[in-house]
Structure 1
Amino acid sequence: MPASFLGSALRGTFFLAFGLWWSVRYPLKYLNRKGAVEGQPGRGRAELFEGAVKAFFALVGILVEQFVPSGPHLQLYSPKTHSWTDLTHWHYSTIYLFFLLSGITDVVSHSPLKLPPGLERLSLTLALLVEVSFANTGDAVLDQHLHSLLVMAIFAGALCAFLEVFLQDHIILETFRTSTFLLQGSWLWQIGFVLSPPWGGPGWDDSDSSNLLFLTMCFCWHYIGALVVVATNAVASRCFCPTLLELVTSKQTSQLGVSVFLLGCPFVCSRTA
């Protein structure tokens, strides 16, 4: 059973939002490390915010999957029909559940209850692997082809996240993971348009083999678009970050000057007296 357009769009928006956020955040973090201002107070606020947003999005996804009019409403097995209830909604709820756990791990990892380094990336890896395990569920050839391409994006992101467990703050891995999230998000939107068009009517012709070839090319174009977004935001960060660093440095210098002045005033006054 193909997913609905709204379901695909919701999941795609989740990954696009994080991909866009990371495409700005990671270049700035890298440049800040080079500028030696990473130790500023509030460094962990971005991670806390990111984890909270991830957990919120995942919780909303679970509630939507469960309580839409056609949803199971938390009923897994129907005693009347002696059969499982809406397993499609349940399997998407399971995916969201693991991303909810990943968001909670992000928050706890950067709270006073310090968790081992890399645990937040490990939880993200598990969430992506769970998503991979549910990716190919359709019977139609077109559905399977679309989701097999999606699996490539998911698995690439999971591999990056797993490597980041051991290679933390690695800008190449962070950038590649960002591109895979952008690809996954845009491709989920593409899946929605192909299988369940929002304007109604049937999806693309499953018997036309040229559709498979076109969608394979389209998948590559989606990734090129993701790389363009990452590169554009990286260049923009490189252009604007020196100004931000200069402001931070000048602010630190002025604060240091004020502190020295205040500390030196009593000494000067005593010598004058």
Structure 2
Amino acid sequence: MGELKADTAGTIGDFSGHLFAGSFCFIFGLSESTKCILKYLCKKQKKTYYSKTLFYKLEILEGILIFILALTGICGSLLFTGGSHLPLYEGNHWNKLKDWHHSTVYLFIGLVGVANILCFTVSSLPVSLTKLMMSNAFFVEAFIFYNHTYGRVMVDMFMHNLVGLVSFVTGLVAFIELLTENNILLELLRSNLILLQGSWFFQIAYVLFPPEGKTTWDLMDHDTKMFLSMCFCWYCVLAYIIIGVNYAFVAWLMKLRMRRLCSSEVGLLQSNEYEQELEEEI
């Protein structure tokens, strides 16, 4: 693929940071898809064994998880990646603005977790507030990444611009969800876009900031950009496959659970009938 023809200022910290961002998006996307699939399948069943209380608990747990991961991302960006980046302005120059960009994105995603916790613990708050905060978080991410690529080489700009594009579309889908109600296709599309973003962060980590410390990708070559554009499309397909497998897995677990519950109910009915027959004989 050729040697690097431009400085990327890549470090091991950048590699781990993008790896964490990809893992965060994967956890978030899988959690969201599993939750909406479970809700949809429960509504399709004439008789459901899942209460609203269970879903409220799942929302609260997801909110706690999102908040903890976002807080970890903020601390990692500002305190642990290459040392402390506090204060913001020091020595007549701005201090590590790219890491401050990352922490700002995590801040707004953390607010999504806070909204999840509050909306499902405080009854006076509308549940739709969570969708509004999610839409806001991804719009902010798109805006940040639009202004995140100044002075970078071609492939670097291309890969980060794709993150901004996916973020904007995800925010738009979340906003449309706010105007609609319980649309399984929109919810799965949003989960798919979050998973796509996660896999693309992994690709960014290995292309721009490899763990060896020096990339073997030619970041000024148009062929590299063309190949990565194909990779992005392949990741779209991969995200759909993950959603499909997750749907099949959740549906299988629900059928298995319902069979066990039905068989236990049949056993109880048979035992009650047997007891009634004994009483009649006596």
Shorter-chain TM-score range: 0.7 to 0.9
TM-score by length of 2: 0.83
Distance 1:73 1:143, change over 3 A: closer
Instruction: Decide whether aligned partners of structure 1 residues 208 and 178 sit closer, same or farther in structure 2, where only a CA change above 3 A counts.
Output: same
- 2:36 maps to 1:26: yes
Question: 2:181 matched to 1:171?
Answer: no
Q: Once the 2 structures are TM-superposed, how far is the Cα of residue 14 of structure 1 from its aligned partner? A: 0.3
Aligned-pair CA distance for 1:168: 3.0
CA contact (8 A) 2:70 2:107 kept: yes
- Cα 1:244–1:71 shift into 2, 3 Å: same
What is the aligned partner in structure 1 of residue 234 from structure 2? 221
Match of residue 197 from structure 1: 210
**1:111–1:40 CA distance, 2 compared to 1 (3 A):** closer
The correspondence of residues 242-261 of structure 1 with structure 2, limited to 5 A, is 242-248=255-261
Give distance in 2, aligned partners of 1:45 and 1:184.
Answer: 27
Write the deviation string for residues 108-164 of structure 1: whole angstroms up to 9, x where unpaired: 000034311310011011111111112142221111111222223212211121111
- 1:183 pairs with one of 168, 193, 196: 196
Identity %: 32
Aligned to 1:235: 248
- Residue 77 of structure 2 aligns to a residue whose secondary structure is helix
Partner residue in 1 for 2:69: 57
**Cα offset, 1:219, TM superposition:** 0.2
CA contact (8 A) 2:196 2:236 kept: yes
Over 3 Å counting, the alpha-carbon distance change for 1:231 and 1:86 in structure 2 is: same
The alpha-carbon distance between structure 1 residues 70 and 181, as it changes in their structure 2 partners (threshold 3 A), is: same
Matched AA of 1:76 = L
Contact 2:22 2:202 in 1 (8 A): yes
Q: Residues 98 and 125 from structure 1, CA distance in 2 versus in 1: closer, same or farther, beyond 3 angstroms?
A: same
**Does 2:121 correspond to 1:111?**
yes
- Select the residue among 80, 84, 99 that pairs with 1:89: 99
2:89 is aligned with 1:77: yes
Does residue 16 of the first structure (1) align with residue 26 of the second (2)?
yes
> Contact between 2:145 and 2:164, CA under 8 Å: does it hold in 1?
yes
After superposing the two structures, state which structure 1 stretch, 135-144 or 88-97, moved more.
135-144
1:72 and 1:86 in contact (8 A); partners too: no
Q: Structure 1 unaligned runs (5+)?
A: 261-267, 269-273
Instruction: State the secondary structure of the residue aligned to 1:43.
Output: helix
Q: Which moved more, 1:135-144 or 1:115-124?
A: 135-144
Offset at residue 169 of structure 1 (A)? 2.2
Q: What is aligned with 2:108?
A: 98
Work out the CA distance in 1 between the residues paired with 2:269 and 2:77.
Answer: 54
Report deviation, 1:73.
4.2
Shift of 1:238: 2.4
Match of 1:211 in 2: 224
Query: Post-superposition shift, 1:190?
Result: 0.2
Asked whether the 8 Å contact 2:85–2:96 carries over to 1, the reply is no
Measure the CA separation in 2 of the matches of 1:67 and 1:252. 56
Gaps of at least 5 residues in structure 2 are 1-7, 273-278
In the superposition, relative to structure 1, how do residues 26 and 172 fare at CA in structure 2: closer, same or farther (>3 Å)?
A: same
Count of aligned pairs: 261
Aligned residue in 1 for 2:130: 120
Deviation at 1:167, TM superposition (A): 1.8
Q: 2:49 matched to 1:67?
A: no
Contact 2:153–2:220 under 8 Å retained in 1: no
Contact 2:85 2:95 in 1 (8 A): no
Pairwise CA RMSD: 2.7
